[in-house]
Structure 1
Amino acid sequence: MEEKITEMLGLAVKAGVSDIHILPNKNSYDIYFRVPSGLKKMMMLSVVSGEKYLSYFKFLSNMDIGEKRKPQSGSCHIVINQEEIELRLSTISNYRYQESMVLRLLYDHNDRKRNQMHVFFPKDYQTLEKMLKVKSGLILFSGPVSSGKTTTIYHFLRKLYDEEPLQIITMEDPVEIKEPRFLQSEIN
């Protein structure tokens, strides 16, 4: 079973998947990958296999394996193809006490990719750069999952820091991009 899970995670990492959903049906479990176009069904497991997958991930992330009625959350690190991935996991049960699980894959944004920024709207980028020069205010980012909100924020924070070292404090849930130059706080 561990080999099948590793293979599934390898496929997800290769495709750059942001989330893996393990969802119960009456007689099976379905596994979906979140891709830019939405959820894509990748495989179907028997109920027994689906429950084993859930138990395996719960064990890895220090969740209570026996608890199926209450929602739980946890995290763990895995290495797939020499790339360290952090998994954030959460479970919730349906009325039949069948658990579902969502695994968020948090990729390590290494230094090579750190300063890359694909700009589709140059005028908006320039507007943001001007807004960052203002000494006070609030800038809000919103958008769907995996649309680049965190990456964009960190791009601009790093740009600010590179221009003039500042104490940059972040409050995140969870911390998705590790940046040793910033004081990063995880809130819940």
Structure 2
Amino acid sequence: MFKIKEYEIEDVDLGTAKNLKKEICEKYRVIPIKEKLDEVIVLSYGVTEKAKEYLRFIYNKNIVIKEIEERNYESLKNIIFGIDDKSLEEILITNAIKVNASDIHIEPQNGCVYVRYRINGSLVLVHKIDSDEYITLASKIKLKANMDITEKRRPQDGKIIVNYNNLKYDLRVSSIPVVYGEKLVIRILYCDNFDYNLEDLGFSESQIKLIRKIISLKNGLILISGPTGS
């Protein structure tokens, strides 16, 4: 998750962040996140005097540098500009898998779109997307999930299978209309976590016999409850 002292992802103005080309941001290791009347707030790691001079020349304003870790810089840069050979939806999904998120919530707001990961039961805001960019993103996700991209007024469900680091992940995609557009929720099922049998789940021998007897019946229903991914 991107966070630097008093600044979080909500504070990143995407218009300001994209004022500089990706090549320039990479060259000087900077990302401008907010432009005020007399100053520009810039995130950077290992900033040089040459970079400061360039920014002062471009903006003709006071440049306020906020140092961040390289990994935070790379994460923010990738979500703003994308990764070579990777689309935005791939970045969002692979980043969620890396932090063992159980869900991805993509929520339209007034003027932007928030991306939240559910990590250890809590929703964490990790990314911010332009509303115009989200239209394309939502269509790509719905197409991959075999959902109707022309239908935005009623809820839909779909499914995507992805492979990452030689492991398979089952993504359950849901869409629902909300005030500012169409919200998407992606449930990530970690298929490698489901390689269990009854003997591995802590049941006693008598309980296992009872369960096997119940599931052999032709009629009936077994209710299983617990937290996400349990």
Tell me the TM-score range normalised by the shorter chain: 0.5 to 0.7
TM score, norm. by length of structure 2: 0.52
Unaligned 5+ runs, structure 2: 1-81, 216-220
Instruction: Give me the identity figure in percent.
Output: 31
Among 94, 104, 119, the residue aligned to 1:10? 94
Residue 7 (structure 1) shift: 2.1
1:28 and 2:112 correspond: yes
Letter of the 2:224 counterpart: F
SS of 1:41 mapped into structure 2: strand
Corresponding residue of 2:44: none
Cα deviation 1:69-109 (Å, max 9, x = unaligned): 1111111212222222121101000145x000111112222
Cα deviation 1:107-137 (Å, max 9, x = unaligned): 22279x646x998xxxxx45x5432233459
Corresponding residue of 1:141: 224
Letter of the 1:131 counterpart: Q
Cα deviation 1:137-180 (Å, max 9, x = unaligned): 9864322223x1xxxxxxxxxxxxxxxxxxxxxxxxxxxxxxxx
Q: Do 2:156 and 2:175's aligned partners in 1 also have CA atoms closer than 8 Å?
A: yes
For 1:136 and 1:7, the matched residues in 2 are separated by 43
SS of 2:224 mapped into structure 1: coil
1:132 and 2:216 correspond: no
Q: Do 1:9 and 1:80's aligned partners in 2 also have CA atoms closer than 8 Å?
A: no
For 1:145 and 1:73, the matched residues in 2 are separated by 18
Which structure has the larger Rg? 2
Matches within 5 A, 1:1-188: 2-96=86-180, 98-109=181-192, 114=196, 125=202, 128-134=204-210, 135-136=213-214, 140-146=223-229, 148=230
CA root-mean-square deviation: 2.8
Corresponding residue of 2:29: none
For 2:193 and 2:224, the matched residues in 1 are separated by 23
For 1:136 and 1:67, the matched residues in 2 are separated by 42
The runs of at least 4 aligned residues of structure 1 exceeding 6 Å deviation read: none
User: In the superposition, relative to structure 1, how do residues 28 and 129 fare at CA in structure 2: closer, same or farther (>3 Å)?
Assistant: farther
Q: Do 1:32 and 1:43's aligned partners in 2 also have CA atoms closer than 8 Å?
A: yes
Unaligned 5+ runs, structure 1: 120-124, 149-188
Aligned length: 139
Q: Do 2:103 and 2:118's aligned partners in 1 also have CA atoms closer than 8 Å?
A: yes
Q: Do 1:77 and 1:87's aligned partners in 2 also have CA atoms closer than 8 Å?
A: yes
TM score, norm. by length of structure 1: 0.63
Corresponding residue of 1:122: none
